[in-house]
Structure 1
Amino acid sequence: MSSSIQWYPGHIAKAERALKEQLKRVDVVLEVRDARIPLATHHPQTAQWVGAKGRVLVINRLDMITPAARQRWEEWFRMQGEKPYYTDAQHGKGVKAISQAAQDAGAQMNARRRERGMLPRPVRAVVIGFPNVGKSALINRLLNRRVVESAARAGVTRQLRWVRISEEIELLDAPGVIPARIEDDENAFKLAICDDIGEASYDNYLVAAKLVDLLTYLEATSEGIVSLNLLQSRYELNPISTEGDEYLQALAKLRYKGDVERTARQLLTDFRKGLLGQIPLELPPQV
């Protein structure tokens, strides 16, 4: 199944140019990824943007994956020499540690300033990541107040602006950035399934069929980490022996008077709301 899911609206291209400009003034980069797809939500240019700055890796939406999946990812990231911070920004879990990590990363910058006879200043941090991975929710939690509009759809933040978190930290809220071209079809589908890319870029039916195929594959290969029990009890239809599109057709007949578009939308919405359970769509590559 070819995806041809591509989404790069003008405001994102413009935001990326502005972000590159502002990065010169930033000390610490907070890179936010989606816990369900931490590899697909890694922007290939992040390392280039971070350069020699401090970086804090934030894996958000922790509430949407199982503890067993989190443990696997923690081990994998550790083997890559990374220290991920897990958050559920919607409910404020893990946010304090992010604030502390940003401050710690900035402390080195202020130590260098002192050596050069300059006064310390607040750490300047930027939050980057794909659209809709929870950056705005994280910023609002860091600030303890709602200053940034956040919504459950990709591409709400359009402007770059600085907000002061405390005496120690200033934060740049940047719109979601995505690669101008997504090379990997699998990743494009995962971004669409998780709603981390604009809806105009994909066909709900193809994406929902892909979700079913992915779930049946993960249940078969994840050694018990991914379970489809909730999906089965919710729709009273077992997807195991069918292809994704056949499953959608059968489910449409059973529940939605044959309306496959409505069926596809419902399935995607249920997955995104966590009604099918805590399901990671990626597990660490076998090392």
Structure 2
Amino acid sequence: MLEARGLTRRFGDKTAVDDVSFEVADGQMTGFIGGNGAGKTTTMRMIMGVLEPSAGEALWNGEPMTREHRRRIGYMPEERGLYPKQPLIDQLVYLAQLRGVAPAAARARGLELLERFGLGDRAKDKLEALSLGNQQRVQIAASVIAEPDALILDEPFSGLDPRAVDAMADLLREFTSRGVPVLFSSHQLDLVERLCDSLVFLAGGRVAAQGTAAQLRRSGRVRHRLVLDSDAGWVRDVADRLGIGVVDVDGPRALLELPDDAEGRERASDELLRTVMARASIREYAEVLPQLADIYREVA
């Protein structure tokens, strides 16, 4: 298990990361979400030992992380670190050897990964001859070629076309199926929600929220959509009297925000339905869970 415990990083008077703690369990994929400058990259760098924490620590299986632990982590940094004038397969073999993989095994694994990402016929090409999207594919291959015990990937899906995104997603699932913990950052919330077992929202250098997508959706403001067979403008007065917020009314549709506490929400909902049914026919009354983007805006 990979764990960040109280990680803090200061640059002079500025605190870029402030007491960040979270866990990435074995076989779990965790999405690291935050706007530009939220502290995601700095946190990843501290975990990998690229930056020294001002406070806190990174742990591997409950022990302080060492150089040897980090050698077994596949890391994809924000600034891509490949060599533009070196053939693809040569640098993949070189990077794998740095992590203790034998040359023959490294070459076989490198060719396999290039083939998987649609670059099998370009193994001897120089990196600079590739498009930015294809360079990203090679960088991904470099991060996984040594069959790491954990993966930490900073924006791995950036610049990838849909086909490459699917290939990358399948690859990550293969690692988690073997018990490998995976942490990756992304601005693509729909992709994060589809892939990840848990999410960590970072804002202003602090953890603003964390949990599964379902847990986070339930922690946000739950709204209800009411659809009548006629104009719903008059529902505003009913809602105000019952302490129900009206987010929007558009023709026969009303979007309502019920009280936060369960008892008050149930009571208000029951009374709303009784009152409305006495005056109109209800076509739909359904809970509307917030999108992850809405939750992030709220907590940030």
The question of a shared fold, defined as TM-score above 0.5 by the shorter chain, is answered with no
Higher relative strand content? 2
Compute the TM-score of the two structures, normalised by the length of structure 2: 0.28
